[in-house]
A and B are shown apart, each in its own frame.
Chain A
């Protein structure tokens, strides 16, 4: 099982991002929202640049642009000024306010500032949602989940409507715009009306528009968020976000049954997801999905010999690593190291659950890792491929092995926002990619130059 992880004091080439970045992305998935960082100017700008390089979309994140005097006397005045300016320029429906390490440390009471703002400023104001995201605590995934939790906690309520369709909440975590589009399609195929929170499918993968949109259209509609307490059920992807989450709040406050499941990656995990949809909707698996599943199984058989026993290192956000490891285990690829910069304390347990006895040997599983640690372990593990985001490219290059790009960020290829990870269809794409990467390696290494494989 898990060997001892390297234990360095310094962090080199981190395998995680900071909390406010995750919160900003989550806020981008809400209709009419502008993310706002209460801190100094640099945080917003750095994160904008980082996020733009993945999604290739305008990412406007406002900032209170605090200076030295605010750090000494408090940032309240600038927070309020910033909120007024954002309201004037963007006319947002909602402003998602995340703190930074600066404002958390100087002890700014954002809730109090917001109450004051509400009293001091007249006229119609956007909804304000606040989340505490000190970047010295947790990673971008805590920021993401905490922002979702705050949105639910602040906005969700009960709102009966007369539509005949069964309605559910899906809290998919940090997945791609393509994943969210596909989830919506799946839900529709089960005749379910899904509120997906957050929904970055349009806001972070927009169309070429006729006029420039100050806030990209799309995102989870606020009216729907307000009705999340009236839904039949909530489905939440991932297990490492801690006890308090959007789904658990909906269960506690409104009695909406919450089901936490593994990210549906691979056949087994997707089966469980679709079984659950069947149960909620009362419908059997639609023919279309039976077809997708059947073709996927067929391709598993066609491709299995090219990949059996190949050793993989999987890294990235914990829930994604869990999902990917489950997928690799069921196609005969051997994960030798599963690594994350996150530190939920649950990674090993959830990987065991996801691999479900499919692995002849257990991989090393380590939390709190950076790329220096991963690289150091990789030397002895001699992997055949890496599976993770584009920051592993340097390691893949050093080891001269293929990198299967998944997750966030993808900074060195087009289309990171369109990578499909979930369901039978996402698994199909990843499977083809993995098999082809292995075939390409063999073909490239061969002196013969096989033209049939």
Chain B
């Protein structure tokens, strides 16, 4: 059974109909890439799963439990970590506080500190600095690290490679690969090369609808689908 499944999900933001029927399933232990053009509704899909932009209709199930009508904090506390785009770390908090605030139970941070710092060695020497002093790449690492502090079963990661230098993208990819060994990941990624190297399956969203899904290995050779839905090979 899928860890997370969405079926016929519709979401409105104000009066705009953003998601017009999204179906997707994420199996335990997988990395699933959510692909699509700018404005297709990828970020909204993640936010709808978390209840930040609540679904108007459709079902969202996590571990067989419905997430609709639940408050975001309850959904997150059920074991879903969120790494938003644009590195939404807290500027007024130090790196350590940014990690500590994600604790769901006392001692979460102490328990996973070493694992996170070995994944992102840069953070270790910045630990006392406020968020404002971090470079873009460091902020992105902190945002991913933060999602690893509590005991999450699923990570929603939005555009981890956006705006990063190639060497940092490489580092980020390795980190995601490593953390995915014991966590399931739903990944939104514009960079098809990054997505294809990380994910085992994919879902393409086009104008708010999920239009295509399958194994990543098949998509890589399917230039026509890539051209049609992603606009680039």
Q: Do A and B come from one complex?
A: no
Q: Tell me the A residues contacting B by CB distance below 8 Å.
A: none
Q: Interface residues, chain B, CB within 8 Å of chain A?
A: none
